[in-house]
Amino acid sequence: MSELSQQITIQPPRRARMSPWSIGAVLIATMVLIPIVAVIWFALTPTENIWPHMLRTTLPRYLTNTAVLMFSVGALTAMIGTGAAWLVVMYQFPGRRVLQWALLMPLAVPAYVGAYALVDFFEYAGPVQTALREAMGWTTARDYWFPAIRTRGAAVLVLSAALYPYVYLLARAAFREQSGAAYEVAQALGAGAFARFWRVGLPLARPAIAAGVAVVMMETVNDFGTVDYFAVQTLTTGIFSVWLQGGNLGGAAQLATCVLGLVIILVTLEKLSRRKSKFFGSARGQRPVTPTKLRGWCSYMVTLLCLLPVIGGFLLPVGVLLTHAFDASQWVAPGLRKAMAHTITVGGIAAILTVLGGVFMVYGVRLTRKRLPALLMPVTAIGYAAPGAVLGLGILVPLARFDNALADTVVKFGFNDPGLIFTGSAAALVLAYVVRFFAIGQGTADAALGRVSPSLPMAARSLGRTAGGTLRAVHLPLLKASIGSALLLVFVDCVKELPATLLLRPFSYDTLATRVYAKASLENISEAAPAALMITLVGLAAVIFLARANR
């Protein structure tokens, strides 16, 4: 018995420890969530509470304009995007093969660029009113009536023309996935074209349309350049006014929490609207929809209807910009090359960090299967829903305080004052882009890693590969296409982002977006045109990628 007791050794209980992958995933999630938490904290602990004053004065106007824009743009984009998607999927007409991809092209033109082009085209000194005066013999504006351009209604039109492709893309995919047999049965029962759309196609595509409209509404809340140019006071413009002009951080944070609240309500309503709706495909291979060939004047009318959104959202803005870009001197104007270099540098670094962080986090969560990282991973997508102005507020103030504390510590130890390391450079801008678009990198990585067969990494680990070695040797070669796509999409979004860039850029640090905004705000469209066209060309690359991916 004594010999047996000597052979038995009591093993101490093993301590649960976090692996480096879990720690890294938690740190990434913390970095993404800090700006949101900071905004809420500033709103709850204001130095000077101006909330009662805003409730009596500006807040009702901000809320009214924001709500009107959200619901108006949402309704208009739903009609344009859904209608265009139905026509290109269900019917054959002249130009259909080109138009089904051309309808995506307005995504390449930021809404604020479309606003500048619209005003330049229709204002008093623009070509439309000038031609009317010459043709009718009018001499002054008092001789005729012309609708005002810089109004809330014009902002709705510009935002709808720029954002409807979000609805169109999702609705088109939903209509293409539906069974052609359902429409044949409806037609056999006497349902006409509109009845088949209203009773069959639309209910089945409603979840996709609702998701697209929710994205459109969030982008409308985020917009700053368009509403600022049209002098429409919204919650986003209020953040800039209260913070930069009024110098009140708490009031700006309270407005930012209102914006966050609207976004959360939108996301929640979109989820609740689909909670009781379940859609299942047939277990057997279903027959796709066969487009009906249109003839005569009806076919050309459908072509015109599909062409109108492309004209308003892409051809008109780009055409106006090209007329101003013929002057070769504008392409070598001071600051343009530097703005382009800043845009490429900051956007490229942010895209790389975003995608690498997304891959690291998703791989770490899948590898360790710890509960905390797995719970935090979905929450990191909130940055994409949070407007750029909100993130700018939540990043700049904590980073500025950290910069000052770091500089004081360095000086205390007898070294020279290093200055503002983060907020005095483009580091804060890169961080804002990473937080804002982290959902793209994370979502792409999650989808791509989910397609990798579990047997491949298991075989690599059984042959002695470490977790990092398995990621490099097995996963990354299989993820190259997805990583490249995510890099492109994040880079394009960084190039187009305006509110966060305006708040966080260092002094005299222009990007293409801020240069367009600065020149257009001074009514200098000629100098804004080259930078705007560069942004559009970058956006076209993303549109081409989307078109190829959704064939």
Higher pLDDT, residue 512 or 456: 512
Last-in-domain residue among 294, 324, 354: 324
Please check the confidence at residue 70 and state whether its pLDDT lies above 70: yes
**265, 337: one domain:** no
Predicted pLDDT of residue 312: 92
- Closest CA relative to residue 503, chosen from 241, 277, 319: 241
Please check the confidence at residue 4 and state whether its pLDDT lies above 50: no
> Is 212 in a helix, a strand, or coil?
helix
Quick: pLDDT tens for 45-56. 888 888 888 888
**363, 295: one domain:** no
**110, 187: one domain:** yes
Quick: pLDDT tens for 290-325. 788 888 888 899 999 999 999 999 999 999 999 888
**214, 88: one domain:** yes
Of the pLDDT bands very low, low, confident and very high (cuts 50, 70, 90), residue 13 is: very low
Quick: pLDDT tens for 23-51. 877 888 888 888 888 888 988 888 888 88
Of the pLDDT bands very low, low, confident and very high (cuts 50, 70, 90), residue 412 is: confident
**24, 71: one domain:** no
**383, 269: one domain:** no
Mean of pLDDT values over 489-515: 88
Q: Which of 90-94, 207-211, 538-542 has the highest mean pLDDT?
A: 90-94
> Is 92 in a helix, a strand, or coil?
strand
**548, 416: one domain:** yes
Asked if residue 125 lies in contact with residue 190, where contact means CB atoms within 8 angstroms, the answer is no
Please check the confidence at residue 256 and state whether its pLDDT lies above 80: yes
**Full residue range of the structural domain in which residue 391 is found:** 20-49+327-551
CATH number at residue 303: 1.10.3720.10
**320, 359: one domain:** no
Predicted pLDDT of residue 82: 93
Predicted pLDDT of residue 184: 67
Report yes or no on 4 lying in a domain. no
Judged by average pLDDT, the poorest of 80-94, 214-228, 384-398 is 384-398
**284, 316: one domain:** yes
Instruction: Report the C-alpha gap between 102 and 97 in whole angstroms.
Output: 9
- Closest CA relative to residue 201, chosen from 171, 222, 228: 171
Instruction: Report the C-alpha gap between 41 and 36 in whole angstroms.
Output: 9
Please check the confidence at residue 283 and state whether its pLDDT lies above 50: no
Report yes or no on 276 lying in a domain. yes
Report yes or no on 54 lying in a domain. no
Of the pLDDT bands very low, low, confident and very high (cuts 50, 70, 90), residue 8 is: very low
Last-in-domain residue among 300, 324, 348: 324
Instruction: Report the C-alpha gap between 408 and 415 in whole angstroms.
Output: 10
Does an H or E element contain 293, and which?
A: strand 292-293
Last-in-domain residue among 289, 324, 359: 324
> Is 91 in a helix, a strand, or coil?
strand
- Closest CA relative to residue 32, chosen from 498, 488, 401, 360: 360
The dihedral formed by the CA atoms of 245, 250, 253 and 257, expressed in degrees to the nearest 10: -130
Quick: pLDDT tens for 336-391. 889 999 999 999 999 999 999 888 888 888 777 777 777 777 777 777 777 788 88
Report yes or no on 5 lying in a domain. no
Predicted pLDDT of residue 11: 47
Report yes or no on 472 lying in a domain. yes
**Summary mean pLDDT of the chain:** 83
**240, 267: one domain:** yes
| Tally of domains within the chain | 2
Higher pLDDT, residue 132 or 285: 132
Report yes or no on 8 lying in a domain. no
- pLDDT > 90 fraction of the chain, expressed in percent and rounded: 22
Higher pLDDT, residue 366 or 276: 366
Instruction: Report the C-alpha gap between 362 and 443 in whole angstroms.
Output: 9
**149, 212: one domain:** yes
Report yes or no on 273 lying in a domain. yes
Copy the structure tokens of residue 78: 């739903």
Instruction: Report the C-alpha gap between 544 and 551 in whole angstroms.
Output: 11
Report yes or no on 6 lying in a domain. no
**365, 222: one domain:** no
Predicted pLDDT of residue 306: 93
Please check the confidence at residue 228 and state whether its pLDDT lies above 70: yes
pTM above 0.75, yes or no: yes
Asked if residue 73 lies in contact with residue 159, where contact means CB atoms within 8 angstroms, the answer is yes
Quick: pLDDT tens for 160-179. 999 999 999 888 888 887 77
